């Protein structure tokens, strides 16, 4: 691992632009569960079809509203961990660092990262179902979705299965990754499209691909290096190595 850290640190230090693609794994050490890990992942205990699709929402709005409300209240209380802070420090060492996150928890912003692309929206925001009117000031503990001023139901401003990702965010993500020197892929299973295609896009355009994950994933195959471990440990070690 020490040799790999040295190699990656050298690559990072000489980079003009680094894109960091993050997934649920980076927030696990902040106490937020991932999705697909056996036993502890959300989808091991909750039905994604019922809770994270438009069809599920329309079938039972109170159920879906309450599930997101409970998660939002929990997430609002969490704090960034050493992995998030290491990425903030990276910004001070490299001309351009773009964080592309699939996470909806807002922890990169809370840590202080400045250039963040949220691919799957934010659980801290709302919009209405029919017209997409944004709304942020919503009380916790409601048993069913409140109405927008236009009469439509509110929903969390996240991307459910079968929904398109925010176009501007997605386009920018591909553009940035396509011109990055290094793509750091942290804490994602690499199973959910289109985000999972970003590392491959980077590789095809000449970026050095580094994965940080305790497990191998489909991305490992195209990665130049897997730093196997927890992001809250590996990322600070990487920053320390860059300072050597
Ligand atoms: C650690 C760690 C530590 C642990 N340190 N690491 C067949 C083929 C291709 C695509 C499809 C297909 N069938 C269906 C699709 C499309 C679908 C998809 O990809 N499905 C796959 C599951 C098969 N995609 C979509 O539907 C997307 N939309 C779309 O395709 O639209 C098309 C369209 C175009 C135009 C018009 C209309 C439609 C939308 C995807 C939305 C995903 N939404 C969610 C929920 C968000 C809201 C919420 O939170 O409730 O996003 S699902 C969930 O998965 C969430 C995550 O962002 C996303 C990715 O998960 P992530 O982050 O990778 O987490 P995990 O749990 O999978 O992995 C955690 C990793 O961390 C693991 O590897 C651990 O080892 C690691 N780890 N501890 C570092 N300490």
231 Cα nearest atom in ligand 1: 5
- Tell me what pLDDT residue 21 has: 99
- Tell me what pLDDT residue 137 has: 86
Stretch 126-152: mean pLDDT: 94
187: left (phi over 0), alpha (psi -120 to 50) or beta: left
> Is-contact 87 115, C-beta < 8 A?
no
Taking 90 as the threshold, does the pLDDT of residue 1 lie above it? no
pLDDT top residue among 39 and 189: 189
Does 27 sit behind a cis peptide bond, omega within 30 degrees of 0 on the bond before it?
Answer: no
Instruction: State what percent of residues in the chain have pLDDT above 90.
Output: 97
Q: Whose CA is nearest to atom 31 of ligand 1?
A: 164
Structural domains of the chain in order of their starting residue, each with its CATH number: 2-31+80-120+164-242 (3.40.50.1220), 41-77+128-158 (3.30.1600.10)
Taking 90 as the threshold, does the pLDDT of residue 68 lie above it? yes
Query: Residue 88: which H helix or E strand, with range?
Result: helix 82-91
> Is-contact 111 85, C-beta < 8 A?
yes
Check: pTM over 0.85? Answer yes or no. yes
Asked whether 24 lines ligand 1 (CB < 6 A), one says: yes
Stretch 213-226: mean pLDDT: 98
Q: Whose CA is nearest to atom 37 of ligand 1?
A: 164
Asked whether 159 lines ligand 1 (CB < 6 A), one says: yes
Structure tokens at 144: 């069913």
121 forms beta bridges with 158
pLDDT band at 136 (very low <50, low <70, confident <90, very high): confident
């Amino acid at each position: 691992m020490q040799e790999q850290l040295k190699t990656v640190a050298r690559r990072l230090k000489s980079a003009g632009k680094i894109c960091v693609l993050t997934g649920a794994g980076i927030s696990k050490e902040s106490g937020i569960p991932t999705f697909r890990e056996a036993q502890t992942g959300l989808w091991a205990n909750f039905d994604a079809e019922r809770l994270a699709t438009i069809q599920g929402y329309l079938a039972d709005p109170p159920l879906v509203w309450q599930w997101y409300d409970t998660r939002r209240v929990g997430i609002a209380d969490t704090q960034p961990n050493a992995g998030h802070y290491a990425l903030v420090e990276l910004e001070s060492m490299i001309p351009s660092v773009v964080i592309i996150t699939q996470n909806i928890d807002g922890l990169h912003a809370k840590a202080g990262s400045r250039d963040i692309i949220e691919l799957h929206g934010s659980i801290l925001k709302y919009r209405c179902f029919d017209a997409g009117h944004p709304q942020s000031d919503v009380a916790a503990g409601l048993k069913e979705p409140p109405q927008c001023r236009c009469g439509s139901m509110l929903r969390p401003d996240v991307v459910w299965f079968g929904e398109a990702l925010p176009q501007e965010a997605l386009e920018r993500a591909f553009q940035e990754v396509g011109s990055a020197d290094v793509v750091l892929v942290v804490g994602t299973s690499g199973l959910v499209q289109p985000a999972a295609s970003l590392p491959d896009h980077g590789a095809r355009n000449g970026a050095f691909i580094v994965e940080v994950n305790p497990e191998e994933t489909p991305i490992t195959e195209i990665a130049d290096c897997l730093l196997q471990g927890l992001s809250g440990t590996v990322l600070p070690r990487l920053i320390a190595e860059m300072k050597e």
